[in-house]
Each structure stands twice: as structure tokens, then as C-alpha cells.
Structure 1
């Protein structure tokens, strides 16, 4: 009998142990769902600080549902039409949220879920902006005193709205600071925006105008995470400081990197700031190795450092002094095809303009490039323009050459820069891109000045004896 009791006890313990081992996993996601009436697109985009996720939408019903893993409780935006229609949200890592909206009247929106009260407040906040400030152009066109009055009215209205909505204490603290930064950011933008909108480039604010940067904290990680306006103010000020520090003709990408390292102490903010710029800036720096080495020293983010190192290892193959990558059989506007080898060993340097017909900045350089070609006609330099339009734009390429009376050697690659192996070896991030190659096919500058940079480009030509 005793043996039987012991056996039953062991079985009970075993069953209990199995039950513990089969406990359900802890939820580590939220479900974002809803319906957007009168919405005919197939997807929407959820974005936040270092976060982006595309969400599929049923085109017939406008309904959507997706599991989302976010990296922090924070403000997010649900983009319905880029630059025009969006919904502001506050999401928590495991708290589901549901949205019912009408695309034709996006202000008519309802939320359910634990954070419904917060999200309804954010929708009302956006309406408050429209009611009081109307739009940015109207706001920044106001005379100084009217602008300050309007900003105070808006700020007071938002504070009253946030306090009256019984928002959670932790959120309310962040939101009040965010409202203050939005106010300060608008003040910091006023002088430049008013001058541009009124075409008064010499405009300056009065001595009595509030200083938006008084006691500004350049190293607040919490504010960097939770306030979009703080992030934009910080980025703008750091950019301006770097411009002041950068000597004429200096390496601005490197100066900006050093500026952030010197001023920003918070590691999260610093890592994010230098990485966002470095992804593009490393392709423009004149001091590639120094830029890479300093980034590696300044950043503490492993993923960021891996990406920049990978980029560096590609770019160093097209650095100054390296053999230029070869392109082959690009269509020549004057007939036949042309390869890089056809242009080398003739005693001439090559000034290559990489452009596209859709690129407005490229077209602005064309008249200046033509003037440059006339000035250096008969000298030891050949001007080559390479279109990185795809095949569909072939006729447009030819017509653009005719319409703008483009000179020099005109080549058509038939591929966008992202699909063109030759262009990818330079990691071209933006157009136009200018490259100088010596007569033997070695790179003189992978980031040569544009014709619009005038003296800076002429100085290089002079140094080369062109």
C-alpha cells in the first residue's frame, strides 16, 4: 500500500513538472489592427525612431491587422500618404491597438485599447494645430509679434488639452516636454523661414525675440527618444556648428562627425546622430580612412559599426589613387558604344558627370558644365557625361541632350545607379556625382567638386596642370 502511495506521488510530481515546462510563452508583441474607410491602397507604413514596418491593407475593405515588435514604448506615425496623411500613435510593446478611421476625413478617428485615450489626445492635438496655426506657410509668414502671440496661444492650448485628458502620468511628463520642444523649434526656425517666405534674405529677429537655445541640453537621451522636435533642433544646431567650424574647402563630413563627438555625451543620441549621417557621408568624405577610424572610435553600436566597416571596405577600392572601375559598351549619343578603356592613355584627364534626366540638381549643373567645357576646350581634359537612366528613359535622354544642347561625350548606361555595377563600386548615394580620373585610369577624386563649386574645382584642375 505504501509503495502504491509513493508511486502516485511520483506521478503527480512528474505531471506537475511537465505542466510547468509547457507554460505559454510571454507575449513580446502588440497587434495593430483597424479599418480605414475609403482607402484604396494595399499598404500603410508604421514609422518611429529607428523603426519602420509596412502593413498590408485589404483594398476592398480597408481593414488591416499585423503583429508588431517595437524596440521601445514611444511615439509612432501611421503613414497613409507620404507627406500628406498620417495618424500619430503612442504604442507600448505588448499593448494592442485598434483604429477606425475615414481616409476622406482623417480627423474622424476612433481608437480602442489601453492606449486609446492617449491616441485620441494625439488626434485632437493635430486638429488643434490646424485650428490655431492653420499651416506652416501661414504661421511663418506672420510678423514677429503676431507669430509669438500665435505660438503662445498654440502652446497654451496644447498644455490645457494634455492636462484635461487624464493622461497617464508617465506619458504626460514626456508630452509636456515635447510640447515645449515643438514651441522652441518653431521659434528657432522663424528667422530663416520668414525670410524665405517673404523673400527678405536680410531679415533678422529683434533683440527681444526669445532665445530658443537658452539652456538647451545637447545630450538628453530621454528627450532624443521621445521628442521629434528635440531631435530636429539638435540635428539643425549641430549642423550649423559644424559649418562654422569647417574651414573653406574642408572636409565637412569629417567635421560634422567630430562636432557630434565633442558636443553630445549621451551614447544613444550620439550613436544615432553619427550613424544617420555616416551612411551617406562616408561616400563624400575626402579622408576615407580617417573618417572610418574615427567613426569606429566614437560609436558604441555594434550593428552601426559593422555597416560602416562594410561600406568602407567597398569604398576604399575606389579611393584616390586606386585604379578606376571599368565600364564597357555604354551607348554613345554620337553613335556606337564607348568603354572606359577607349578614353584612357590619350594624355587627358577625365571629368565624369554621373546624372539622370529626372534629377533637377543635375540639370542645374548642365549650363555651368557647358561653360567649363568651352573654357577648357583643347586642353588635356575630356568631359564625359554618363546617364544612369533605365532603358525606358532612352528617348528622354536623347531629347534632353538636344533640348539643353549638351556637349562633351554623352553616354547612356541603360540602368539606374542602384542596378549598375560600375556605379555601385562608388556607392553613389545621390546625383549628380562627379569623378576625376587621370590619363592612366587611376582615380584622382571619387567626389570631385561640381561645376557650381567654381573655384574649388578650378584649383584642382590647376594642381593637375590642366
Structure 2
């Protein structure tokens, strides 16, 4: 079950230093322009605060922070460093976050974050596919360059926070280690060279890194990347030796000593609480017992309760969406037939990759008692793109357009968090599989044969 890690790269430089006993107040103020609906949110580890702006874009708010560290300004892809009992004022244009300016107690720390981010953009670029496509020497030159320039910036900076510099020194080392660790996997992927292996002289990641360090995990996003990578690899190694994936995952999570690391990895692994799980109840109860994050546990319970409503044999949620050929089509219109639903979008690469196989399956079962329905969750702004895509690609079957993208009721009812997603509904309107095999999976034809379609 080797998985290629998605190309989602966080450009933030730190994470957080959590202290659950902290109750001091932090005052933030400033001016924000370009915010949607006159509001913006600051989020962190188990923290979220929505701030309402005055008509002129100014704001002042008092935060009860759960830890000292960096928080994210949602919508701006911008990190800010906050500590209890300190002040921070910033001026931010959501459309141009790199131009943010700071005053107040923590101005130096936050100014450093912006400068370091600029260095990383300058040296590493903004397209990570291009970075990982470089040959070994060129890649290592960039890794060493960004490390040196970041270190030089740190050594010529002064901060009010007493522990900031020490933690950031380690953060820079973790950043280098993370870049070294990911190159062998990503280079082979972006160059489509599955057999790629780095040379013997390629630097190795320090084998003595402690992957259960609560303080470093809270402060350094690079360290979190290292922990996640190492955790995934350790799980995979056990699965390759014959272990059952879900059992190995839970076993590995139980060995983590740091509460913050365990909580975060539990939350990131909670997609296993899904209709595709062989033991939905067991996985839900295991995750519930492993986490001490009450907000996460509440959200997981809500998700679990929704999933229980769409398990095998339950009446399927309904849809009634616009048909590409005109009018609308509902699930009730198709009663008496098996209905194989493909939830997709024009921007989704894996969805597009399934189209040839889906066409073959549709051709194989043409005239049978089954309807193939594709429901697009493209945003409203991409409505015309959807119309043109269906026409240009000559998509067959019943092509529908969901009325509210990801927030469409059918999508919400099936707890669809990623696409493509396939669903099989029986002639009686009851669910056969809320997470059916993909068209490219031989298991789909086997399932159809078992149902004698």
C-alpha cells in the first residue's frame, strides 16, 4: 500500500509551543483589507478565533492562547507568532500577504518569519514540482543555500522571546532534513522514473532524530513533516511484513508518548473512520480512546453518526440535480435500476484518470439494469467548464451538476471528503456500497457479477 504523498507543501515556518495551562491574554490589533464578509480567522493547534473587522478594516481582539507559537491567518497563507501576555499589531492585505508589517512586542519574531519565507521562495521557488525535478547536485545546492541564508538571517536577528532563537536553530536543521528525506520519493514521481534511487553520496537524514519530541513538534512544521513521514514509513514497513493496515496503524499510534503528537496524528489518520473501513465501529472507538482533543472527538462522533446512516442496506440519500442534456434527474427517477454514482470534478486528476475505465464499464453493461450517474461538484464559477468538458470528452451515462459543490446535500449525507468517490445503490433505493470499487478496479466487475447485473 505504498502511497505517493500529495504535493501540498506548507510554506509556514513554524508550528506551536503548546502549554495547556496557559491562561494569559494576548492582545492583537491592526488593519486587514480584502477579507471576505469583513471577517478573518486565526487558527492553530486545537484553536480557532473568528475576528470581525470594523468598517475601515481595523480590529482589536483579546485571545486566550493555548500555547506560545505560530498561528495561521486563514485566507492569507500567512503565519504569525504569538505568546501569552504579549501584543502584536499587523497591517495585512489578504491579496498580498508578503507585504504584511508588524509592530508591538513580537514584531521582531514575526518580521523574521516573513524574511525567512522570502528566502525560501527565492531559493526553492514556489513550484515544488520544479524543485524536485532537479538533478541531485542542483537540488543539494539549493538545500545548502537556503539553509545557510536562513541561518545567517537568524544569527543577525534579535528577539524578545527568550526561547525563539534556540527552537528556530533546530527548525532550520529540521527543514534541511525534511528536504533531504523527501527528494528520493518526489524526484522519481515528478520525473516519472519509478526506479530512481539516489546516489550513495546523497546525504542521509540523521538516524538519531527523536520523533517523539513534543516541544519540537509544536514549534517546527519541518519537524512535523519528518514525524509524519517517519510514522507513515513505519506503518508501511509493518504492513509489507504482513500486518493488517488498520491494526498496525492503531498499534503505532498507541506507542506515541507526546500527547500533542498523538492527537495530531490521530486526527490526520481519522480518514480511516470511513465507509471503506472493514471495521467502522472499531476504528471509531480506537480513535476516540487515543485522542484527548475534545473538539476532535466531538467532530469525529458527528462524522461517525452520519456514516452509520449510509451503511449497507440503509435507504440512500436522494439527489435531484441538473442534467447536462436538460432538465433535472433524481434518484427517484431511476428507481428499479441499480445506480452507480461517480462523484467527481473537472479539476480532479484522479477523477479524470478513471474516465476511460468508466466508459469501458458503461459500454460493457449497456442495456443492463444499471444506470451510470456522474455528479460533478465543480464550483459555480466552473459551471461552463463542466458543460464544455462533458461535451468535449464525450462523457456518457447521466451527467449531473450538484447544486452547491461540496456543500450539496447528497455529498454531505455521504460524508464525501475526497474524490473520486463511487457509490452503488440497489433497485429498491437502498445502499449496496457507500464507497464502491472504482471502475479501474477488477473488484467492481466481481461485485456486479455477484449481484447478477
Q: Same fold (TM over 0.5)?
A: yes
Kindly report the root-mean-square deviation, in angstroms, between the aligned alpha carbons of the 2 structures.
3.8
**What's the offset of the Cα at 1:227?**
0.9
Counterpart mapping for 1:30-179 below 5 A: 30-35=26-31, 40-41=34-35, 45-55=41-51, 63-78=58-73, 81-82=76-77, 86=78, 88-99=79-90, 111-130=102-121, 132-133=123-124, 137=128, 140-167=132-159, 168-179=161-172
SS at match of 1:211: coil
Q: Establish whether residue 314 from structure 1 lines up as the match of residue 306 from structure 2.
A: yes
Gaps of 5+ in 2: 1-21
Structure with higher Rg: it is: 1
TM superposition shift of 1:234 = 1.8
Q: CA deviation at 1:390?
A: 7.6
Alpha-carbon contact 2:273-2:284 (below 8 Å) kept: no
Q: Any conservation in 2 of the 1:29–1:93 contact (CA below 8 Å)?
A: yes
SS at match of 2:407: coil
> How far apart in 1 are the matches of 2:390 and 2:117?
47
Residue 219 (str. 1) matches residue 241 (str. 2): no
2:442 paired with 1:450: no
The number of equivalent residue pairs is 428
Q: What are the Cα deviations for residues 170-217 of structure 1, in whole angstroms up to 9, with x where unaligned?
A: 222221221111111111122233334555443221223232261232
- Aligned residue for 1:318, secondary structure, equals coil
Q: Which residue pairs with 1:464 in the alignment?
A: 451
TM-score w.r.t. length of structure 1: 0.77
**Alpha-carbon separation, structure 2, partners of 1:135 and 1:399:** 31
**Aligned residue in 2 for 1:7:** none
Task: State the Cα distance separating 1:374 from its structure 2 match.
Answer: 0.8
Q: How does 1:406-445 map to 2 (within 5 A)?
A: 406-420=395-409, 422-445=410-433
1:374 to 352, 363, 385: 363
State which of 315, 319, 324 in structure 2 corresponds to 1:323. Answer: 315
Q: Which moved more, 1:48-57 or 1:433-442?
A: 48-57
Task: For 1:101 and 1:439, locate their aligned partners in 2 and report how far apart those are by CA, in whole Å.
Answer: 55
Matched residues in 2 for 1:146 and 1:417: separation? 41
Change (3 A) 1:209 1:117: same
8 A Cα contact 2:184 2:197, kept in partner: yes
The TM-score with structure 2 as length reference comes to 0.79
Relative contact order, higher structure (CA 8 A, sep 6+)? 2
Match of 2:10 in 1: none
Q: CA deviation at 1:44?
A: 5.1
Q: Deviations over 1:107-163 (max 9, x none)?
A: 776543332332333333334435555556565454424533543443344344434
1:268–1:80: structure 2 CA closer, same or farther, 3 Å change rule?
A: closer
**2:221 counterpart (218, 228, 233):** 228
Which has the larger displacement, 242-251 or 363-372? 242-251
1:255-288, Cα deviation, whole Å (9 max, x unpaired): 6742542553322211121123316753543432
Please give the alpha-carbon distance, in whole angstroms, between the structure 1 residues aligned to 2:82 and 2:151.
21
| Residues 1:266 and 2:268 aligned together | no
